Amino acid sequence: MSDDPLAAIVPKPEGERAIAALREEGVYDESRTVREAGEGALALPVTHPPTETDVHEVIRQPEPEVRAPGLEDLLAEQGWSDAEIERVPGSWAVIGSVILVDLAGCPREAEVGGALLELHGGADTVLARGGISGEHREPSVRVVAGAGDTETIHTEHGTKYALDLARVMFSPGNKRERHRMGEIVEEGERVLDMFAGIGYFALPMARGGARVIAVERNPVAFRYLLENAVLNGVEDRIDAYRADCRDVEVEEGVDRVVMGYYDAAEPRVDGNGEADGSYEYLPSAFGALRDGGVLHMHEATPEAELWDRPVSRLREAAANAGRGVEILDTRRVKSHSAGVAHVVVDARVGRSG
């Protein structure tokens, strides 16, 4: 008789319920991974045939996939104490061949970096990330393990991003929003991306059929924007300008404007540091949009002011420009910092009155 381990077959929709029941019964095998078992079914690893959990059948599973150990498991094997492991980061981002991780307060950084490389076999460099600073939003990073190559190509929902993580920023938490922008554009739409960076939103929108005016003033990010347009085969759909977005004239109204820089909605302040009711970038966005076009405004907003602050800023700036706005959607993208959320407001822009 075969000595291959056992697996219980259940329908996919019943997977989570069945796993919980098998754990309660004490027969779920945590050392192996769940695998698909044909169309619409899952093979759940078990140590013994279940007697209390309803499953379709129990089979022998040749060549089972062993569950990879986690970071804490690897460090524990190296002799780390429980107190040290408590200071280990609970999450990190794999961007192409680079692992980006916040190691603030973490002991033995090099050992953590080595363990992360062991967990992610396709990666070759681990970077400890600091803050973002300067007018070009430049990242602060340190190599803590691996080859030290900070340049990579990251693929996300089919879009390829070439970048140097030591020179340009990349936010893993914006992944869903980048994908969404590629899904909502229509073939032939004209879009203005006011803060294009390396093509975070411009690339998926161009791949979705839009014609994108992409503006970026950081010379390094601009070089990658051009490279990425070619890399994704959309160079004929992206008109790139290395400039301040306020200086780019759009002759005909565009269908959509993306303001992906979340400080761009900040009001101007007077000599006393008080808001004077005017805005640096929103007038340019309204000036570019056709009647009925859509604006996607990103902002870093204190939790206590959701959604009043971003919406009121948008309405005030629109009124100043003689435009009217209809709020279409408000979305929380991710946490920005303690008590502050990165949000997006979608608004249809028309003529006032």
Q: Whole-angstrom Cα distance, residue 125 to residue 96?
A: 10
Sheet strand arrangement including 57-60: 35-36, 41-46, 6-11, 57-60
Q: In which element (H, E) is residue 319 found? A: helix 308-320
Candidates 268, 281, 273, 294; CA nearest to 321 is 281
β partners of residue 58: 8
Q: Whole-angstrom Cα distance, residue 181 to residue 107?
A: 39
Task: Answer yes or no: is 216 a known binding residue.
Answer: yes
The Cα-based distances of 252 to 49, 146, 346 in angstroms read: 68, 50, 21
Whether the link from the prior residue into 80 is cis, omega within 30° of 0, is no
Task: Answer yes or no: is 178 a known binding residue.
Answer: yes
Residues 93/156, Cβ–Cβ less than 8 Å: no
Task: Evaluate the CA torsion angle 218, 224, 225, 227 in order and state its sign.
Answer: positive
DSSP single-letter state for residue 137: T
Q: Which residues are annotated as a binding site for S-adenosyl-L-methionine?
A: 171, 178, 216
Q: Which residues are annotated as a binding site?
A: 171, 178, 216
